Amino acid sequence: MKRIFSYYEPPIAEYLSEHINSCIDLLKKLESSRIGRAGTSLNEKFVDEIRLSVVFHDLGKAFYQRTHMPTEKPVYFTGHEVFSAYILSEFRKLYIKENLDNLTDYDILKPAVFAVAFHHHPMDIGRRLEKIKIELYPGFLEDLQSELLFLKNNALYGKERSLLNSVIIELKNKIERGSIKVEDIKQEFREICRGLYSYIISGKDRDVTLKKLSYLTLVSLVSVDYISASERRGKKTRFGGVMDDFYELYLDI
């Protein structure tokens, strides 16, 4: 088994599960926080939207690993959100299918997909799509399955783990059969974005609520993602100061 890195710039390296667990720890006051209360007033499952956005936001980095690691050269993950959003979208489809008889909210996990897809939006998603230069290697998905075993129990629950494992196995099988390529996932990501845009620009009451939930989920994910990364990697910026202030005011009170 090879570990999956979420950050790799020697001498600093961070495993994917370490980063996710660190983000989850930053959400310990989420339910009682200002954002938690605001989101829950709109949808009782709001906390799960943020939690699952955190779990899925960097899963696409599995495809960026190098076959020979560690290496002296840094690894960059430009466009990883494309693959992360695709995996979460497939998870959402399976979740809805598995819970169809008891499902009352058919917009479930749309805010999480929105947050994962756009958590690097200031860097220009279109340009990041163009810069993706990787190949889909099924072995990395086997490593991802093993890496997810290191997640804390409060990150993924039993049924969720099982569903995610099924998604990863199905994706691995598609890659092995040659029935899915990088360009296919990029095109699927474009379709995902079109679906998200459709409710973002809508004025219908249901879509306005969904829009609020999506932005609350996105800003929460960006906040804990940035804070966790800067704590581990030792990089502080002006934007990091803004995220610290935001976190203290809205997620840690």
Q: How far apart are CA 38 and CA 41, in angstroms?
A: 5
- For residue 109, the model assigns a pLDDT of 96
- For residue 68, the model assigns a pLDDT of 67
- For residue 17, the model assigns a pLDDT of 98
Residues 6+ apart with CB under 8 A from 252: 26, 29, 33
Q: What are residue 15's phi and psi, to 5 degrees?
A: -80, 150
User: How does DSSP classify residue 62?
Assistant: G
- For residue 39, the model assigns a pLDDT of 97
Q: Is 212 helix (H, G, I), strand (E, B) or coil?
A: helix
* Angle between the N-to-C axes of helices 138-147 and 158-177, in degrees from 0 to 180, rounded to the nearest 10: 170
- For residue 100, the model assigns a pLDDT of 65
Mean pLDDT confidence for 27-33: 96
- For residue 44, the model assigns a pLDDT of 93
Q: How far apart are CA 164 and CA 87, in angstroms?
A: 8
Per-residue pLDDT tens for 62-105? Answer: 999 986 667 788 999 999 999 999 999 999 999 999 886 676 77
Q: How far apart are CA 182 and CA 174, in angstroms?
A: 12
182 to 23, 124, 136: CA distances (angstroms): 28, 19, 7
Q: How far apart are CA 107 and CA 225, in angstroms?
A: 24
Burial class for 166, CB neighbours closer than 10 Å (0-12, 13-18, 19+) = middle
Per-residue pLDDT tens for 149-196? Answer: 999 999 999 899 999 999 999 999 999 999 999 999 999 999 999 999
Other Cβ atoms closer than 10 A to 103: 12
Per-residue pLDDT tens for 219-246? Answer: 999 999 999 998 877 777 888 889 999 9
| Continuous H helices in the chain | 16-25, 34-42, 46-56, 80-98, 110-118, 125-130, 138-147, 158-177, 182-200, 205-233, 238-250
pLDDT-based confidence at 126, cuts 50/70/90? confident
pLDDT value at 5 more than 90: yes
pLDDT value at 56 more than 90: yes
Q: Average pLDDT, whole number, for the chain?
A: 93
- For residue 1, the model assigns a pLDDT of 73
- Percentage of the chain surpassing pLDDT 90? 82
- For residue 72, the model assigns a pLDDT of 82
